Amino acid sequence: MKIFKFGGASVKDADGIKNVYDVLQKAGYEDVLLVVSAMGKTTNALEIVIKNYFDKSPELSASVQEIKKYHNQILLDLFENDKDPVFTAVNEQFTDLEYFLAHNKSPNYNFVYDQIVSFGELISTTILSHFMNFMGVKTQWIDVRNFIKTNANYRDAEVDWELTQKNIAKNIAPKILNITQGFLGSDENNFTTTLGREGSDYTAAIFAYCLNAESVTIWKDVPGVMNADPRYFENASLLNQISYREAIELAFYGASVIHPKTLQPLQKKEIPLYVKSFINPLLKGTSVSKGVDLEPHLPCFIVKRNQLLISLSSIDFSFIMEENISEIFGLFHDHKIKVNLIQNSAISFSVCVEDKFGEFNTLNAVLSKKFKVDFEENVTLYTIRHFDDAAAKTVENDKTVLLKQISRETMQIVTKE
């Protein structure tokens, strides 16, 4: 079996859905499992619904209606007859969403987030499955929550591999186009969980691992994995081949094309990963597998914006020792703050972090009791793998460099622009 993953950009409108059909006609769809994200910016729109829900905003109903209107237009563009069963199927999803908003009793933000945001994937896959059937391609729609089981760490759940393996191996039908949702799972009480933002790639890898798949292909709006984000760098080049090891390094530092957790299960079973263009599906794209680390061998640039540079120093000028650093990292973990760079001296400790859950103010209050805390908001972290002098100058030009760290293969630079 092959696993194909299509992200939100590939199914953002009716033309995108039709293009997925065209891609499958060219790439083949027998014995394929599709992992599909929410359409376009639906996840962002559902996050607004969540905000309105907790704010008890009068805009709550209107924000839901906007999402319903967006999807209904896609349906009208795809299906000639508005009596087609897909309209009822999608309407039932929105009814379930509205029921949850009306009857939920939990004050837990992360729990509520997962229950609401999951409707993006459920609706997108419902539409895609019905359209494929309409076009004569028989599909099996799968609720991924019945297959991928996790703990109850909402918004960043950990997979129960043993139970997930058992569910997938026993229930996925071969020789048919299976369609399921990315990003989602469920806990032991069957409440919806999510695998972390951009977790659809990870979903594809989970299915590949459990099915001993032939390959995973991630279909993107770019030709493959580039050595730099074309939005920030001119003359970005396609990387034809990347080893698992190098891809894991790039993902660790934040390369946006491949999700950090995607590669480990694929590497364990040596399942190749392809990153290809849904615009030009016959192009070779990028292959991630065993072999040469990088081909061609070029500096690779990774940009992480909206970072926070925190500098901690001891109040009494004593050394910052192992026990201090251990305590600091424990606090970062407790507040779900991701550390992307570390630098320390005898009496100071600096980190560049990502505060994606908005926990820094709470953490700062705790840290300030023991340390002098200085911080700089909205900094940018550049990571250059296989750097050279020219690559470093490209990044440093016209910017204020706040911190620089160099190892054998990697340079990291924190800048204020």
In this model, does residue 317 exceed pLDDT 80? no
State the chain's mean pLDDT as an integer. Answer: 94
Mean pLDDT of 202-225: 96
Mean pLDDT of 28-44: 96
Mean pLDDT of 312-334: 88
Q: What is the pLDDT of residue 346?
A: 80
Tens-digit pLDDT profile for residues 251-300:
888 887 687 789 999 999 999 999 999 999 999 999 999 988 999 999 99
Tens-digit pLDDT profile for residues 39-83:
999 999 999 999 999 999 999 999 999 999 999 999 999 998 999
Q: Give the domain 2-220 fold.
A: Carbamate kinase (3.40.1160)
Q: What is the pLDDT of residue 257?
A: 67
Mean pLDDT of 23-51: 97
For the chain, residues classed under CATH 3.40.1160.10 are: 2-220
Q: What is the pLDDT of residue 151?
A: 98
Mean pLDDT of 350-379: 94
CATH 3.30.2130.10 fits 300-416, yes or no: yes
Mean pLDDT of 298-324: 90
For the chain, residues classed under CATH 3.30.2130.10 are: 300-416
Q: What is the pLDDT of residue 251?
A: 85
Do 147 and 206 meet the contact criterion of CB atoms below 8 Å apart?
A: no
Tens-digit pLDDT profile for residues 86-107:
999 999 999 999 999 999 999 9
Mean pLDDT of 344-370: 92
